[in-house]
Amino acid sequence: MPPNYCIIIPNYNHTQYIEQVLQQISQQQLPVIMVNDGSSEETKSFLIEVADRFQFVSLIHLETNQGKGGAVIRGLLEAHQQGYSHAIQVDADGQHAIKDIPNFISLSQNAPEAVICGIPDYDESVPLGRLIPRYITHFWVWVETLSFRIKDSMCGFRLYPLSSTAELIRNAHIGKRMDFDTEILVKLDWKAVPITNLPTRVTYPEDGSSHFRMWQDNWLITKMHTRLFFGMLLRLPKLIARHFTQSPKSRYER
């Protein structure tokens, strides 16, 4: 069967930019699974109205807030159950360049088993407090995978092959909050799922909102890296062996 794609949007009380995001997605002619992650009743009513107006949107409601990762996981499993082969994760806050979606799909069509990861190309709007922890995470991800295959593990704009991703979700612990994006990517890499990196513009709107909790989420991410480091030690022989089984060309193209 040819690959078929959908878009997953986790949403926790994001109303300001979601209509703009969906309007841009409408030009891509792709179905959307939006997961309401236990938002307020006011937001829930708003999202129901929005989904009625954008007929390509199906809406899933989580009764209690699961965290960004929990919402994405619910959307990925739903997409896999519905028979989609690939899903593109997009944030609801207007940060991502929706016009780049065809580039993700084009790379995926050439490498259908690969995760296509967005590498953020930031403008001056990015908060400094978000950049410093990001570079720390880059270092630890390179340690945890013994490679530079993953250029950026924190960007929430990426494309998943659903067969391997759903299998991992069902059989491994994956963080459900701000630790999700990094942990699932490292563990997919441990499973030897190919990683392809794609530069994409990321903008932080001046009047946008973020649910990133500086101290709590950085502590959560620190604990995640501790788990992943010891997980890497258990997989050390296999990770080292990959450097000898891959062709020199494939080591650097991902």
Contact 36, 48 (CB under 8 A): no
Look at residue 126 in the predicted model and tell me its pLDDT.
59
pLDDT band with cut points at 50, 70 and 90 for residue 18: very high
pLDDT in tens, 134-190: 788 899 999 999 999 999 998 999 999 999 999 999 999 999 988 999 999 999 999
pLDDT band with cut points at 50, 70 and 90 for residue 114: very high
* Structural domain count of the chain: 1
What angle is formed at CA 194 by the lines to CA 191 and CA 154, rounded to 5 degrees? 85
pLDDT band with cut points at 50, 70 and 90 for residue 112: very high
Query: Model pTM?
Result: 0.88
Confidence check: pLDDT of 57 > 60: yes
pLDDT band with cut points at 50, 70 and 90 for residue 228: very high
> Where in the sequence is the domain holding 176, given as residue range(s)?
5-253
Look at residue 105 in the predicted model and tell me its pLDDT.
97
pLDDT in tens, 123-134: 665 555 556 667
List the alpha helices (DSSP H) in the chain.
18-26, 41-53, 68-81, 101-110, 128-145, 162-171, 180-190, 214-234, 236-245, 248-253
Look at residue 177 in the predicted model and tell me its pLDDT.
87
CATH assignment at residue 166: 3.90.550.10
C-alpha span between 157 and 149 (Å, rounded): 17
Q: How many helices (DSSP H) and strands (DSSP E) are in the chain?
A: 10, 7
